[in-house]
């Protein structure tokens, strides 16, 4: 995993509440055995017409949003299935952080393991972001803050996840180092 | 100090305790694997040259992308499936073979939806930690296990180390007192719970379902309840083990046998939450007031009693959901024409579910406009149902009786609801497009689904009572 320290970007806003992982990447695209290329089908059912053309009015298709890497969703983002294909698709498309008032547990955990930053903000900050699509924001992972409208707002992230993000550390390495403790546990519980 | 069921299981699985700086290292007793969320995890192991640490703690099957028309060999599969789905299945066979994991694949008597198969085999046990790259792993909590869904990276972690890095979640007690009225099922109860606490109501929490109404449920009903914990945002839901649990488990092939069984039960009896155990949050419901429930929107929290009306709300997301579903605020759902009825899934694809549906279908015909698909949750459910002649009841009514699998619950295996069509489904998610692009899903119990199939419209199953 690449280290993630600062993200400076315009926002792209998809204001719907409860955006679930079936919307982020519909199940029919899960018959893949790799992580690559999922970005093409990110939000497929909202992004494309039935004949495959872009839906002009969908946020990700609008020219002014091109290149935006911070996605602001409505309340409660990422509920539903445990598919890690959801953060993979977002990252493959170029999204590097997701902002909401609440982020579902499994999606959040999957995001952190792939370098997608889950940013939970208070209702007032969230409302401002929803009302100002394309706003410039700056996410600083070491200090766990997002700068919105000239103000730095703290977001919750546990120290370990933050450490892993900032240093690009893969958590498997840390677990493998626990080998002796795991063996002791197995012996005691055999 | 008084401990809850969750706290006891958590404490007994901590390999390294959590600190401010690091999460706990938690030992995993059982790892369930299926074809969709594992290929990239096995790739990770290959890339790092790592073996699977405990192949004896893996239970693997094929369920999500497999078709529900008869397939007994890989060659058949290539004929009926999309090439990518067939490739995924082939990859699963190869991964299991390369890493020494037994796969309950095509031709296995055990194959089934992973959350139906684990309990059936007796692999799901009280007090255990159970994970799977699948959010409905919460199902196994019905046995008093701590069971939760994980992502593919974590699947890799468990394969390599049999452990996960976890922060201790909070606890939520849901107390359900009173008796469920006739024809009000466990599915209706869990839909009512989600309606009450909302789709994010359990986020960050492990739910323990408690109270006289829960105690009175069978294991299959408890599984239906725990299954949909994730629909309330909770990664895990659990029910304390009791005699109902032990009766269900006794003699199952992977459950302890003989003297080991007695010792295990004695240990499991220590698991239920102590009197005075504290929960971070508590919610109480009266089961006796419940009615059959149906969803009207595009998440499982958008739910009303069968005889209710669609509520009013000016929130744009709410209005968008109603527009997608083509339902109107202030109007009832009863009588809405139905195109497809799906009975199956890890929520309601067990023998008792099919029996309940068959009771309504017996001697009746599915309405002309409706396609009814009944998909047993596992090969074992299929055998048992066929032994009782339930397949014939379904066929005689004009329904399709299929091979086990996830089927129309997820629409990635050839079984889909066409765009715009209305489906009454016993599965767990009514998200936009879940059953196929543009499909409109109404979640309901097996009896409500069967009633809809017969009427050709959303109907109250209590009309069919007796
Ligand atoms: S039946 Fe549906 S919810 Fe259950 S495991 Fe299969 S796809 Fe997931």
pLDDT at residue B431 in the model: 95
pLDDT band for position A101 (cuts 50, 70, 90):
very high
The CA distance from B147 to B85, in Å, is 27
Encode pLDDT of B217-247 as tens digits.
999 999 999 999 999 999 999 999 999 999 9
The CA distance from B465 to B445, in Å, is 14
Per-residue pLDDT, averaged over A95-116, amounts to 96
8 Å CB contact of B429 and A28? no
The CA B348 to ligand 1 mean position distance, Å, reads 10
Chain B residues close to A158, C-beta within 8 Å: 23, 167
What is the ipTM for the molecules in this complex?
0.93
* Beta-sheet pairing, A145-148 with B103-104: unpaired
The CA A125 to ligand 1 mean position distance, Å, reads 36
pLDDT at residue A65 in the model: 96
8 Å CB contact of B157 and A26? no
- Taking the CA of residue B412 as reference, the ligand 1 atom at the shortest distance is 7
Encode pLDDT of B296-338 as tens digits.
999 999 999 999 999 999 988 899 999 999 999 999 999 999 9
Contact partners, residue B409, CB within 8 Å, separation at least 6: B342, B344, B345, B346, B347, B425, B427, B428, B429, B434, B435
Closest Cα to residue A43, out of A67, A69, A65, A24?
Answer: A24
Pocket of ligand 1 (CB under 6 A): B 63-64, 113, 115, 134, 136, 345-346, 406, 409-410, 427-428
A40 touches chain B (CB under 8 A): no
Whether the predicted pLDDT of A151 surpasses 80:
yes
Q: In testing the pocket of ligand 1, which one of B147, B410, B428 has its CB within 8 Å of the most ligand atoms?
A: B410
> Where would I find the H helices in B68-163?
74-80, 83-99, 114-121, 152-161
Instruction: Provide the mean pLDDT of chain A.
Output: 96
pLDDT at residue B413 in the model: 87
Task: Provide the chain B residues 307-366 that lie in CB contact (below 8 A) with chain A.
Answer: 315-317, 320
pLDDT at residue B72 in the model: 61
Rounded (5°) CA angle B176-B196-A155:
115
The CA B136 to ligand 1 mean position distance, Å, reads 7
Task: Report whether B236 contacts B138 (CB < 8 A).
Answer: yes
Low-confidence ranges of chain B (pLDDT < 50): none
SS3 A20: strand
In angstroms, what separates the C-alpha of A109 from chain B's closest C-alpha?
Answer: 8
């Amino acid at each position: 995993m690449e280290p993630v320290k600062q993200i400076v970007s315009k926002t792209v806003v998809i204001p719907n509440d409860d955006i679930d992982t079936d919307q982020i990447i519909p199940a029919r695209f899960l018959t893949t055995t790799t992580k690559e290329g999922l970005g093409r089908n990110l939000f497929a059912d909202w992004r494309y017409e039935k004949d495959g053309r872009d839906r002009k009015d969908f946020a990700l298709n609008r020219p002014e949003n091109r290149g935006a890497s911070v996605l602001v969703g409505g309340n409660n983002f990422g509920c539903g299935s445990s598919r890690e294909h959801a953060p993979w698709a977002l990252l493959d498309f170029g999204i590097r952080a997701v902002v909401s008032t609440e982020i579902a547990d499994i999606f959040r955990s999957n995001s952190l393991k792939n370098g997608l930053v889950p940013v939970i903000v208070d209702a007032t900050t969230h409302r401002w972001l929803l009302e100002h699509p394309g706003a410039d924001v700056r996410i600083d992972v070491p200090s766990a803050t997002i700068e919105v409208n000239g103000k730095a707002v703290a977001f919750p992230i546990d120290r370990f996840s933050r450490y892993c993000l900032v240093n690009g550390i893969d958590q498997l390495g840390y677990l493998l180092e626990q080998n002796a403790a795991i063996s002791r546990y197995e012996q005691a519980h055999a | 100090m008084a401990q809850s069921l969750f706290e006891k299981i958590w404490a007994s699985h901590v390999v390294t305790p959590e600190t401010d700086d690091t999460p706990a290292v938690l030992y995993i007793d059982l790892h369930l694997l299926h074809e969709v969320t594992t290929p990239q995890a096995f790739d990770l192991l290959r890339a790092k040259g790592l073996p699977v640490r405990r192949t004896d703690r893996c239970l693997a099957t094929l369920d999500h992308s497999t078709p529900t028309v008869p397939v007994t060999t890989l060659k058949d599969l290539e004929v009926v499936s999309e090439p990518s789905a067939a490739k995924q299945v082939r990859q699963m066979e190869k991964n299991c073979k390369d890493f020494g994991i037994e796969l309950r694949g095509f031709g296995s008597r055990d194959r089934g939806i992973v959350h139906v198969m684990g309990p059936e085999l007796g692999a799901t046990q009280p007090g255990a930690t159970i994970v799977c790259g699948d959010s409905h792993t919460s199902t196994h909590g019905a046995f008093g296990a701590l069971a939760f869904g994980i992502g593919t990276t974590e699947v890799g972690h468990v394969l390599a180390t049999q452990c996960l890095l976890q922060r201790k979640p909070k606890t939520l007690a849901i107390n359900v007192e009173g008796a469920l009225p006739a024809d009000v099922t466990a599915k209706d109860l869990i839909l009512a719970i989600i309606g009450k606490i909302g789709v994010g109501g359990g986020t960050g929490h492990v739910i323990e379902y408690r109270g006289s109404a829960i105690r009175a449920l069978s294991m299959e009903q408890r599984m239906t309840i725990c299954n949909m914990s994730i629909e309330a945002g909770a990664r895990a839901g659990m029910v304390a083990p009791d005699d109902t649990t032990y009766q269900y488990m006794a003699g199952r092939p992977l459950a302890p046998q003989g003297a080991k069984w007695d010792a295990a039960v004695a240990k499991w009896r220590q698991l239920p939450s102590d009197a005075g155990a504290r929960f971070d949050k508590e919610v109480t419901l009266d089961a006796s007031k419940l009615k059959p429930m149906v969803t009207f929107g595009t998440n499982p929290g958008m739910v009303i009693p069968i005889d209710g009306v669609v509520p009013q709300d000016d929130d744009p997301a709410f209005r968008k959901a109603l527009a997608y579903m083509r339902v109107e605020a202030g109007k009832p759902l009863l009588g809405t024409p139905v195109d497809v009825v799906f009975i199956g899934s890890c929520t309601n694809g067990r023998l008792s579910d099919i029996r309940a549906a068959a009771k309504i279908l017996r001697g009746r015909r599915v309405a002309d406009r409706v396609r009814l698909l009944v998909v047993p949750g596992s090969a074992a459910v299929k055998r048992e149902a066929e032994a009782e002649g339930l397949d014939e009841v379904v066929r005689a009514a004009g329904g399709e009786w299929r091979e086990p699998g996830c089927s129309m619950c997820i629409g990635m295996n050839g079984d889909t609801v066409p765009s715009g069509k209305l489906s009454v489904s016993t599965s767990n998610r009514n998200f936009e497009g879940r059953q196929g692009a543009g499909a409109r899903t109404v979640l309901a119990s097996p009896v409500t689904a069967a009633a809809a199939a017969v009427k050709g419209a959303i109907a109250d199953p209590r009309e069919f009572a007796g």
